Structure 1
Amino acid sequence: MAVRCITCKGRGLCGRPVCPLLIKLEELAALPRIGNRLSGESPPEVFVGRHGYPVVRAGPLVPVGASPGQPALDIFRIISMRTRMIRSELEIHVHDAKKPGRLLESAQHIAMSSKPVETEVSFVKPPEGRMLFDGVLSPMGPGGRIEDMDITGNPSVPRKVDQLVGDTDVRASSAVCELYSSSISIDHISRLLSMGLLGHDRRLVPTRWAITASDDIIGNALRSRVLDMPEMVGYELYSGGILGNHFEILLMPGAYSFELIEIWHPGSAWSPERLWIGSDREGSTGRRSYSTLAGGYYAARLPVLEHLLRIKRQAGVLALREITEEYWAPLGVWVVRDAARAALSSRPMRFESLDEAIRSAESRMRSKSSDWRRYSNAFSRQTTLLSFFPAQGKECVSGREHNPT
């Protein structure tokens, strides 16, 4: 069961109508009782489902009571807060994003806002159903079909967002990169993409697809810039994480490459019975197919590329993600992204050899390299010319713009 669960992640590949792991999680969630009408501040957050595509269910998430705000770093508290996020749903064709009706247009205005938006929603009948857990999305409470919706507050729309939403000549991928360069958050960008507000041919995009697409589009743009940087000299290791997701991220001499190894321990979210290890990778030309590690691959790669740009180096990257039983419920790929960023914000440890770096990483991990080494290509990397001249290499490094503190 564990092998199927880790590769399926709730998508029903086992043939069962409902994922038994998700049923267990839902039993822990005390779902709120809701009437036919709900008002509150959308965080702002919107949801577009994928079932039935191209006719999907879409709408803003509205909290029962006060808006949850930023999640606390405790899984019980996060799930408790997320149960109050009620999905308000319109059944709509994805191409209706081009000429939205009043209700969809209101949802789009919420997606454009950078701050919570006061919203009133009335439902055909009280929201009901299961709590939604997913490997990419944050957990969400039950959903209900919208009868009517009004925005009672003023959305706070950044100027760059307003500009690019109004520009139908710019490609969606270009708009995503321009928004990112203007310090618009990745969550905000994925909302805009999901609600069909970017690009020429505008359409609604299921939220889980939009999240991964945003990570991928931005990552590919950053990689093209990283390839113009000089190569790393020596080995640098970064360590850290959050919520039972621990990263050891090793930067190695050579041209850019990225390899992610995931080590799921028994009792973690998708590996209840036994240890599971998987890996995926890319070289300087990127990937041509979707990663076997799904959205977590792109979420882990983005902070790495951001870091390489900060230190103005390209490198071979080995990212080890170890998931323990502390991460017993899936909370979305934001956890992967934030855990990798937490690791990369640590002080780097420097080593002369790959073996020294791996021994250091092992000292903070539950698993040993003998468990996962055969899943990696890092150990077959050719020795670079600079590695034969460690003294000269250090002199080169000392003159670069890199402040590890």
Structure 2
Amino acid sequence: MHIWVTNSMKLDPNLCILCRGRGWCGLAYCPVIARARATLMVKRRVSSKIIEGSSPPSIFIGRIGYPYVRIGPAAPPLVGDTQVFDYPELWIEKKIEDILEYRWSLITGIKIADVKKPEDKLIDELRLLAMSSKPVDVQIALKKPPRPFMTFSEHEPPQGPRSPLTKMKILGNPSIPRPVEKAHDDTDLPALEAVTYLYESGVPVSHIQKIFSTGAFGVKGRRRLVPTRWSITAVDSILSRKLIKEIKEYDPLNEILVFRYRLHDNLFIAILYPAKWSYEWMEAWWPGSTWNPGLDNVVIEGDYEGYHGRTTYPGIGGCYYASMLATLEYLKRIKRQATAILLREIYPGFKIPVGVWFVRESVRAMFNSPPVLKTDNLDEVMELLDNETKLGSGKWLSSSALLRRIKFTKTIDEFLKRS
């Protein structure tokens, strides 16, 4: 789903006039200020159809019209260290309006390409750009000046102005890490193995996703361009499946651990229960939040899988694998397996989708802090849910398949012990 910035905000102009950026609307950011700042930057610096700037690096591979999709490079009209403009791992402590400004400033040149033919000059240059770990100076020639708009998606970060691409030229020298170069050059290495190899070599997940989308990995003759949103979820899923195999070799936790994290009108709760690996991701959207703009009631959705995994794509979308990856990273770090139940409450102040990176990095941040509860008593977990969440333990218990399973199994075990 994509939302035009002019239609998605639904702000009261009278309130905006009185508020002037002081947060009276209840949003976690001020979209008016963010757009004004970035628009001013674009207008001041873009005086022609030629964009010269430092790409973070940033590239786009679309999905509409597949296998003939829109592709192209993106760069802001400024030269320097622009890495943060397209580096989600650096965004978790940023204000939403700062992130919107980064994305609004990136101008994308668009051209149609066949995903099954990932070998032409433009795609080669995009691939070279994506493989770089540092910003690269580029020149982007457009058919006409870019239109000032932004699109939003639940999968990828917000996309800024774009225009048909005439020509792209790399002016600087891409800085390509040795593991990336090795994975690209090995035409006998399957794409899945290339992804895990780069991850284990310390390449950031967002960088792997970017390279993966350009068809840089895989066996010769089978390489393909991958739409950006598919690439994001594919990499999260590939890495999660790899880590699941590893953590299944560990013993289960010996107590219940509960974690909590609040950010930008979102609440994240993680319950790690001492049992074999299972996973559940649940979201509760309040009226007036991103995906519940018109209803009067809280909408709860989620998906789960047992020890042996799942065979279908989770209906809840890419957040499922983004949160799973962050959870598995923690379990690997402590060398334990667990039944993991992650709950997210999204309140009205969170009005726009910013991509699944927000979930991945929020869950990572949550697990970088100590647990707020260590216990062997499930009732204490229920009490914490009553105190910390707006839904309360009763609603979460009735909505979560794994929470119900744990509570039911615990009740049966206690009954058998008393018998």
TM class by shorter-chain length? Answer: 0.7 to 0.9
CA distance in 2, matches of 1:185, 1:130: 29
Question: Which of 178, 188, 194 in structure 1 is aligned with 2:197?
Answer: 178
The yes-or-no answer on 1:194 pairing with 2:217 is: no
SS in 2 for 1:150: strand
Query: Residue deviations 1:245-268, cap 9 Å, x none?
Result: 221101112110001110112222
Deviates most, 171-180 or 239-248: 239-248
CA distance in 1, matches of 2:348, 2:293: 9
Flag the 1:212–1:342 CA change in 2: closer, same or farther, 3 A. Answer: same
Counterpart in the other structure of 1:100? 120
How much has 1:147 moved relative to structure 2? Answer: 1.1
* Contact kept? 2:5, 2:149, Cα under 8 Å: no
Counterpart in the other structure of 1:235? 256
Question: Which of 103, 111, 117 in structure 1 is aligned with 2:136?
Answer: 117
CA distance in 1, matches of 2:7, 2:144: 28
TM score, norm. by length of structure 1: 0.86
SS in 2 for 1:157: coil
Question: Which of 91, 97, 121 in structure 2 is aligned with 1:76?
Answer: 97
* Contact kept? 2:385, 2:392, Cα under 8 Å: no
* Contact kept? 1:180, 1:186, Cα under 8 Å: yes
Amino acid corresponding to residue 363 of structure 1 in structure 2: N
How much has 1:361 moved relative to structure 2? Answer: 3.2
Flag the 1:326–1:193 CA change in 2: closer, same or farther, 3 A. Answer: same
How much has 1:23 moved relative to structure 2? Answer: 6.9
Counterpart in the other structure of 2:73? 60
The yes-or-no answer on 1:380 pairing with 2:405 is: yes
* Contact kept? 1:242, 1:338, Cα under 8 Å: no
How much has 1:168 moved relative to structure 2? Answer: 1.2
How much has 1:65 moved relative to structure 2? Answer: 2.9
Question: Which of 244, 253, 278 in structure 1 is aligned with 2:274?
Answer: 253
Flag the 1:281–1:21 CA change in 2: closer, same or farther, 3 A. Answer: farther
* Contact kept? 2:83, 2:134, Cα under 8 Å: no
How much has 1:90 moved relative to structure 2? Answer: 2.0
CA distance in 1, matches of 2:6, 2:301: 22
Deviates most, 318-327 or 106-115: 318-327
Flag the 1:384–1:346 CA change in 2: closer, same or farther, 3 A. Answer: farther
SS in 2 for 1:95: coil
Deviates most, 196-205 or 33-42: 33-42
Flag the 1:147–1:367 CA change in 2: closer, same or farther, 3 A. Answer: same
Amino acid corresponding to residue 379 of structure 1 in structure 2: R
TM score, norm. by length of structure 2: 0.83
Amino acid corresponding to residue 325 of structure 1 in structure 2: P
Question: Which of 289, 293, 299 in structure 1 is aligned with 2:322?
Answer: 299
Deviates most, 19-28 or 85-94: 19-28
How much has 1:162 moved relative to structure 2? Answer: 0.1
SS in 1 for 2:160: coil
Tell me, which stretches of 5 or more residues in structure 2 are unaligned? 12-29, 85-89
Deviates most, 240-249 or 375-384: 375-384
Question: Which of 14, 39, 58 in structure 2 is aligned with 1:45?
Answer: 58
Counterpart in the other structure of 1:399? none
- Aligned positions of 1:6-405 closer than 5 A: 9-10=1-2, 22=8, 24=10, 28=32, 29-30=35-36, 31=39, 32-33=42-43, 34=46, 35-65=48-78, 67=82, 69=84, 70-71=90-91, 73-97=94-118, 99-101=119-121, 103-128=122-147, 130-200=149-219, 201-273=222-294, 274=296, 275-348=298-371, 349-377=373-401, 378-381=403-406, 382-383=409-410
Tell me, which stretches of 5 or more residues in structure 1 are unaligned? 1-8, 12-17, 389-405
CA distance in 1, matches of 2:263, 2:254: 29
CA distance in 1, matches of 2:178, 2:6: 45
Percent of aligned pairs with the same residue?
Answer: 35
Counterpart in the other structure of 2:27? none
Counterpart in the other structure of 1:396? none
SS in 1 for 2:117: helix
How much has 1:19 moved relative to structure 2? Answer: 9.8
